[in-house]
């Protein structure tokens, strides 16, 4: 096949499509359920309601190179496309207001939403997903930089560095449980950098169902 027969596919993601994808994978009822369980549902009308902040946090992984304000603008464009009521004179809040909304939401909402919804998705038709009728799972890990604050340094620690120097940032260790057939992350945990993957991966066995057997015949 000649190179001239190839065409580039645009990498731009339409905001309306992002909202549809979020709604399909994460039903609004699930978000409301977790907001209720974590007592993070707003008690008064706000410019940035909690469910919108949840969608913004999720969308930040899709528009990772953009600012939070830009991500919110993209979401709101999609909301307008779907003809949801935003208010005629609604304006995108300032960056400090968006940061405050994220802090008000906290991390428990996203953690509980993850554990509520994430499940293996492979079927018997998925290549490499099952072996002798059992679902194939894999464990993996990586390390991530976190802001250089005294609290983060105390909890997570710094990686090793030459004598007389110190690493620029503390690091956390992220350990993942992954469905081999789909590469879907089905469980995850973070721990201090000094704790090895092999130690922490044992805790991920909480999400392994050893009776998960399927008839592949």
Q: Answer yes or no: is 123 within a domain.
A: no
The pLDDT of residue 1: 37
Residues 79 and 7 in one domain: yes
Look up residue 11 and give its two tokens.
Answer: 């990498």
E strands, the chain, in order: 130-131, 134-135, 137-145, 171-179, 184-192
Give the whole-angstrom CA distance, residue 149 versus residue 75.
31
What domain range includes position 62?
3-117
Around 57, how many Cα atoms within 13 Å sit in the side-chain half-sphere? 24
Residues 98 and 136 in one domain: no
Give the whole-angstrom CA distance, residue 56 versus residue 75.
7
Residues 15 and 77 in one domain: yes
Mean pLDDT value across residues 137-157:
91
First to last CA, the chain: 38
Confidence of residue 179 (pLDDT cuts 50, 70, 90): very high
Q: Among 73, 94, 117, which residue terminates a domain? A: 117
Structural domain total, the chain: 2
Higher pLDDT, 78 or 125: 125
The pLDDT of residue 210: 52
| Least confident span in 4-18, 34-48, 134-148 | 4-18
Confidence of residue 212 (pLDDT cuts 50, 70, 90): low
Mean pLDDT value across residues 107-131:
89
Residue 9 has pLDDT above 70, yes or no: no
Q: Would you say the pTM of this structure is higher than 0.85?
A: no
Residue 154 has pLDDT above 50, yes or no: yes
Residue 217 has pLDDT above 60, yes or no: no
Q: At what angle do helices 50-59 and 108-117 cross, to 10 degrees?
A: 70
Mean pLDDT value across residues 82-96:
63
Q: Among 79, 96, 117, which residue terminates a domain? A: 117
Residues 109 and 169 in one domain: no
Residue 173 has pLDDT above 90, yes or no: yes
The pLDDT of residue 169: 92
- 């528009």: which residue's tokens? 63
Mean pLDDT value across residues 120-135:
88
Q: Answer yes or no: is 9 within a domain.
A: yes
Per-residue pLDDT tens for 161-170? 888 788 889 9
The pLDDT of residue 159: 86
The pLDDT of residue 25: 82
Residue 175 has pLDDT above 90, yes or no: yes
The pLDDT of residue 66: 85
Q: Answer yes or no: is 175 within a domain.
A: yes
Q: Answer yes or no: is 178 within a domain.
A: yes
For the chain, give the percent of residues with pLDDT over 90: 20
Residues 75 and 176 in one domain: no
């Amino acid at each position: 096949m000649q190179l001239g027969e190839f065409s580039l596919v645009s990498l731009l993601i339409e905001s309306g499509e992002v909202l549809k994808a979020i709604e399909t994978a994460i039903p609004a009822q699930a978000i409301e359920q977790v907001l209720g369980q974590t007592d993070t549902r707003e008690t008064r009308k706000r410019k940035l309601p909690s469910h919108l902040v949840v969608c913004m946090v999720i969308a930040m992984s899709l528009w990772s190179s953009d600012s939070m304000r830009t991500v919110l603008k993209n979401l709101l464009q999609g909301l307008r496309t779907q003809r949801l009521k935003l208010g005629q004179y609604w304006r995108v809040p300032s960056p400090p207001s968006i940061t405050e909304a994220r802090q008000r939401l906290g991390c428990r909402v996203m953690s509980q939403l993850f554990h509520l919804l994430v499940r293996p998705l492979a079927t018997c038709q998925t290549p490499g997903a099952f072996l002798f009728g059992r679902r194939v799972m894999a464990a993996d890990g990586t390390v991530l930089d976190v802001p250089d604050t005294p609290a983060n340094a105390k909890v997570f620690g710094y990686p090793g560095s030459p004598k007389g120097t110190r690493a620029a940032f503390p690091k956390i260790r992220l350990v993942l449980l992954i469905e081999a057939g789909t590469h879907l992350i089905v469980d995850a945990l973070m721990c201090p950098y000094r704790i090895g993957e092999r130690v922490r991966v044992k805790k991920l066995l909480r999400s392994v169902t050893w009776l998960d057997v399927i008839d592949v015949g």
